[in-house]
Amino acid sequence: MESPFAIESYTAATTSTVGLASTALRERVDRVRASKTNHAPTEIEAGWGTGVPSITTAASRQSSQLPTFAPLLEELEIAGWSSHRRSLSGNFHDWMLLDRRSLMVMAGQAVGTRAGEAVDSIEAAVVAQGAWATIRSQANHADDAGTVLSLAARSLWSNVGGNILVEAAVAIIDLEGGQTSVAIAGDCIALRIQAESCAQIATRQPMLGAVSDFTYLGHSVSLPARGRIVLMADDAQRRAAKLMSQLMTRFAKLDTDAHRWMMAADVIAMVREERDQLAVNSERSAASVVAVRRR
Residues 165-209 have pLDDT tens digits of 899 999 999 999 999 999 999 989 999 998 878 999 988 899 998
User: In this predicted structure, what is the pLDDT of residue 12?
Assistant: 35
Please say whether the beta carbons of 288 and 232 come within 8 A. yes
User: In this predicted structure, what is the pLDDT of residue 172?
Assistant: 97
Return the higher-pLDDT residue of 124 and 222. Answer: 222
Backbone angle region of 221, left / alpha / beta, with phi > 0 → left and psi within -120 to 50 → alpha: beta
Query: DSSP label at 222?
Result: E
* Long-range CB contacts for residues 2-8, cutoff 8 Å, separation at least 24: 2/71, 2/72, 2/73, 2/74, 2/97, 3/71, 3/72, 6/69, 6/70, 6/71, 6/72, 6/97, 7/71, 7/97
Return the higher-pLDDT residue of 17 and 159. Answer: 159
pLDDT of 135 above 90? yes
Please say whether the beta carbons of 78 and 71 come within 8 A. yes
Q: State the residue range of the domain holding 263.
A: 4-294
User: In this predicted structure, what is the pLDDT of residue 29?
Assistant: 53
Residues 234-268 have pLDDT tens digits of 876 657 778 888 899 999 888 888 888 999 999 99
Neighbours of 199 (CB within 10 A): 13
Considering the chain, what is the average pLDDT of its residues?
A: 78
Distance separating alpha carbons of residues 128 and 39, to the nearest angstrom? 23
Q: What percent of the chain has pLDDT over 90?
A: 42
The H or E element containing residue 248 is helix 240-252
Please say whether the beta carbons of 81 and 93 come within 8 A. yes
pTM of the predicted protein model: 0.82
Q: What is the CATH number of the domain that holds 16?
A: 3.60.40.10
The H or E element containing residue 257 is helix 256-261
Domain count of the fold of the chain? 1
Please say whether the beta carbons of 254 and 260 come within 8 A. no
Residues 4-52 have pLDDT tens digits of 333 333 333 333 444 444 555 556 555 654 554 444 444 334 344 444 3
- Mean pLDDT, to the nearest integer, of 147-166? 84
Distance separating alpha carbons of residues 248 and 259, to the nearest angstrom? 13
User: In this predicted structure, what is the pLDDT of residue 210?
Assistant: 86
pLDDT tier, 212 (very low <50, low <70, confident <90, very high otherwise): confident
User: In this predicted structure, what is the pLDDT of residue 271?
Assistant: 93
Distance separating alpha carbons of residues 293 and 277, to the nearest angstrom? 24
